Amino acid sequence: MDEATKQKRKEALEAVLAILPGLKYYEWAMIAHQVKVFYEGRTTKVELDGSDIELIRRNFTRDHLGS
């Protein structure tokens, strides 16, 4: 694995770890489910783009925050 990939993974891990304190399992599961749905629905895409991230945000807000 090259250094850029290692750095990207380390930054992703730190971002995830930063939101975990105080987050209940069911809250994490709701977020993980939304992300998983988008990855599974895009079988030819390897990563999500900005429009996917915005759709995840909108869907999660609508489904779990009532807005």
Chain centre to alpha carbon of residue 36: 8
Residue range of the domain that includes 58: 23-67
Domain-embedded: residue 67 = yes
Calculate what percentage of the chain has a pLDDT beyond 70: 93
Domain-embedded: residue 33 = yes
- C-beta neighbour count of 16 within 10 angstroms: 11
Domain-embedded: residue 29 = yes
So what's the pLDDT on residue 28? 93
Is residue 42 scored above 80 in pLDDT?
A: no
How many folded domains does the chain comprise?
1
Domain-embedded: residue 42 = yes
So what's the pLDDT on residue 13? 86
pLDDT digits (tens, 9 = 90+) for 18-41: 999 999 999 999 999 988 888 887
Domain-embedded: residue 10 = no
Is residue 59 scored above 90 in pLDDT?
A: no
Is residue 45 scored above 70 in pLDDT?
A: no
